[in-house]
Every structure is written in structure tokens, then in C-alpha cells.
Amino acid sequence: MSFDLDKIRRDFPILSTEMNGKPLVFLDSAASSQKPKSVIDTIRKYYEAENANIHRGVYALSQKATEKYEMTRIKASRFIGAACAKVVIFTRNTTESINLVAQSWGRTNIHEGDEIVLTELEHHSNLVPWQMLAQEKQAVLKFIPLNQDSTLDLSNLDEIITERVKLVAVAQMSNVTGTIHDLSSIIRRAREVGAKVLVDGAQGICHLPTNVQKEDFDFYAFSAHKMLGPTGVGILYAKEEILDTMPPWMGGGDMISKVWKDKSTYADLPARLEAGTPNISGVIGFGAALEYLESVGMQEIRNHELELLQYALDRLDDFGGLELYGTTDLSKRGGVISFNFPGVHPHDVGSILDEEGIAIRVGHHCAQPFMDFKGIAGTCRASFYLYNTKEDVDSLLVGLKKVKEIFGRVLKR
């Protein structure tokens, strides 16, 4: 379908509801997106008419559930441009996907003195697992620094990514500032020294057309719940030759080939890395989310968000009294805006906006090293998605005017 914003909004039941007696203005999609009716109906249908465990049942209901579950794997592989479906591993979320890489590939390939390169703008999910692995293996963490506009400072990339580096782990797009990183330069340098590259796609996949083969990602991790799907479903993509070398992280049902009392052999991909009963309804619901995104078109979504982003940044700049974070170059930015009222705690801003029916995110956004870099405790964050409107931005400005009026009086005392 073409990008029909009115129709898109009608597809999301929650957008017609109220919050605190006011029409809901939802500006927190970077945390978790809302769900279209097609996803909700797909999950309801599964539980009402298709509920069965998958893979091991020989009866028709189980086979039908298995077929729909595995069809989502095929849809996901196509959506990200993977070579085949078996390189798509289902997890619970981006966090688990990254931990899977750290505990399986990392424990096998990272040794004492090896180096792991991150950036100062990573989500904790792409930092803490590497801290834990480095402590266990006595490896070294290194960081690509930031410019003041929150873009990566790649001027000394050759000195940071050296022959001792085994892995570079970097976000595709920042959840705090919306910065879209220059991954091509990083990947090019990693290839020169033989390092692998893991890309945290939790934010990028929602907003940007992505092709893991063309962009040459070794690992790519993302979550369904940020891209119209249900919570509890994550995806790990990795190149097949890498996955083939990765030992199981968790043991149990469905990941085995043969079990004796004293040993086991393991299943082929992808089952070897997917122990236990999965979130079947969630994965099937995610399939409906992928269909919805494809029907709208990821480039159309990107174009809509750029228009919203420009509209919002222009008005926030004119508003005055705000500190805005991130680059002004929209080609390097997604639909996320972080800001602060100097002298006003972000939680107070969020609480006042909540009274007006406006949902934003406040705090450190699981990116405390970035907050340390900026010398702040946290920010207010408004994030846009395909269902947001310029009227949502206008409502945000009205809410911020109320914040200014309240705290203008307080700060003058």
C-alpha cells in the first residue's frame, strides 16, 4: 500500500484511546512500538484456533503451528536480506541475541589480551555482555570516541581497530540521539585486521532499509517489539560459516540430535541455538508485523520520519530554552530526539507531559557512558514511528510550554 497516514493510524487501536483523560500522544516507540490490529488478531487466532507446541508433534494442529512459526523465519530472513532462513536464530530480544554471541562465539574466540572495540554511545545491552566476557577472558575493551554532536569520531580508527581486535560491536542507530553510524568505514577497517563485526540493530531495523549481506554484517541483533511485533521475540542473524562454529549456549529440548546418559550430540542450525519451547505465538505474530512493514515500505517509513524529524527539530529550536542532543545532519539521524530543560529534572518533564496524555521516555536510556560523556544524569526522549503525525509534535510543544510555565515560576524563586 502507499503511505496513507490516516489509514495507518486506524490500524493501531491504541491510538484512539486516552491517557489520563486526554487523547494519547505516543512518542515512545524507541522503547517499544505499538501494534497494528493485524498483529493482535494473528496472536488471538493462534490461541483461539491454532495453539499447539511445534516441531515434535505429528498431529495436524502442531504441524500447522510449526509451519507458521517457520514461515516467520523465512519472512525475517527476506526482510533483512539474509542468504537463507537457517541463519535466523530466534531469541527473546536483542539483549539475549548479543549475550548468545558473547557466550557462544565469544567464549570460543576471545582470549587473554584480545581486544573488543565498542563505542561510547552503546546501549547497555551492547556493553555489559562484553564487559562480562572481557573480565572472564582477561580481554581488553576499547572505545571509539564521540564528537560533540554525538557522531562517532573515526579520525583514529586505524589506531583503535588493530590486529589485536577480534570483535567490533556497534549500534546501527543510537537509541538516545538517533545517530545513524557510519558502519561502512568501521567494517572496512575490521576486515583489514580480520575482526568480526556485530551490529546492534534494535533501533536501526525499525526505521532503515537493511540488507545484512550487502552491508557485510557478521552478526546482526534486533527485537520484534520495536518493529510492530510482540515482546519476547528477538532475532540473531549471523553468517552461516560463523554459526556453524558456534557451540550451544543453552542445553535442553529441541537443540539435540542424540542424548545418552553421559553425553549429547547437537542438532543442525538453527535448532542447535534454540533450546526449549519458544514464544510460538509471539514469533507467529511477528510474521504479521513483518508483512505490515513490507506493505508500507521501509523507505516510505524512513521518508515520513525524516519529514517529522525536521518539523520537530525546527519547532524545538524555535521554542527556546532547550538543550538538544545529536547531529543536525538528518542523513545521519533517525526519528529520535533527546533534550533537556536546564535546571529541570527529566522525570518532572515526563510527569507533566503524562498529565497531558503525552508519552515520552525519561532517564539514562540504558546508555550511562553517554550521559557521563555529556555530564548529565539523563534526558527527555521523544521518538517517532510510522503512525506519528505533525499534530503529535504540536501536542508535544504545547506540553513543553506548560513545563516552561510551571518551572519558569519555580526557577525564578
Which of 221-230 are b and which e, b meaning 16 or more Cβ less than 10 Å from the residue's Cβ? bbbbbbbbbb
Residues of the chain with CATH 3.90.1150.10: 5-30+298-407
**Which pLDDT score is estimated for 234?**
98
Lowest mean pLDDT among 43-52, 309-318, 361-370, 403-412: 403-412
Class of domain 5-30+298-407: alpha beta
User: Which sequence positions are flagged as catalytic?
Assistant: 366
pLDDT-derived band at 1, boundaries 50, 70, 90: very low
**Which pLDDT score is estimated for 408?**
78
The per-residue pLDDT for range 102-121, each reduced to its tens digit, is 999 999 999 999 999 999 99
**Which pLDDT score is estimated for 320?**
87
**Which pLDDT score is estimated for 237?**
98
**Which pLDDT score is estimated for 412?**
52
Q: Which residue has the cell 563485526?
A: 197
The per-residue pLDDT for range 393-403, each reduced to its tens digit, is 999 999 999 99
How confident is the model over 66-92, as a mean pLDDT? 98
Given a contact cutoff of 8 angstroms between Cβ atoms, the answer to whether 21 and 211 are in contact is no
Given a contact cutoff of 8 angstroms between Cβ atoms, the answer to whether 269 and 239 are in contact is no
- Sheet of 234-238, strand order: 88-91, 234-238, 219-223, 196-200, 165-171, 115-119, 140-144
Given a contact cutoff of 8 angstroms between Cβ atoms, the answer to whether 154 and 178 are in contact is no
How confident is the model over 189-194, as a mean pLDDT? 98
Classify 248 as helix, strand or coil: coil
Q: Distances from the Cα of 43 to the Cαs of 51, 63, 64, 67, 283, in angstroms?
A: 10, 17, 14, 15, 9
pLDDT-derived band at 301, boundaries 50, 70, 90: very high
pLDDT, mean over the chain:
96
**Which pLDDT score is estimated for 3?**
87
Query: Which grid coordinates belong to 117?
Result: 572495540
pLDDT greater than 80 at residue 283: yes
How confident is the model over 34-45, as a mean pLDDT? 98
233: nearest Cα among 30, 91, 65: 91
pLDDT greater than 60 at residue 191: yes
The per-residue pLDDT for range 229-277, each reduced to its tens digit, is 999 999 999 999 999 999 999 999 999 999 999 999 999 999 999 999 9
Identify the CATH number of the domain defined by range 40-294.
Answer: 3.40.640.10
Residues of the chain with CATH 3.40.640.10: 40-294
How confident is the model over 90-112, as a mean pLDDT? 98
Q: How far is it, in rounded angstroms, from Cα 229 to Cα 288? A: 8
Q: Check the CA dihedral 6-8-12-15 and report its sign.
A: negative
**Which pLDDT score is estimated for 413?**
46
Q: Quick one: the chain helix, strand, coil %, rounded to 5? A: 45, 20, 35
Query: Which grid coordinates belong to 347?
Result: 522525570
How many other CB atoms sit within 10 Å of the CB of residue 145? 14
How many other CB atoms sit within 10 Å of the CB of residue 172? 25
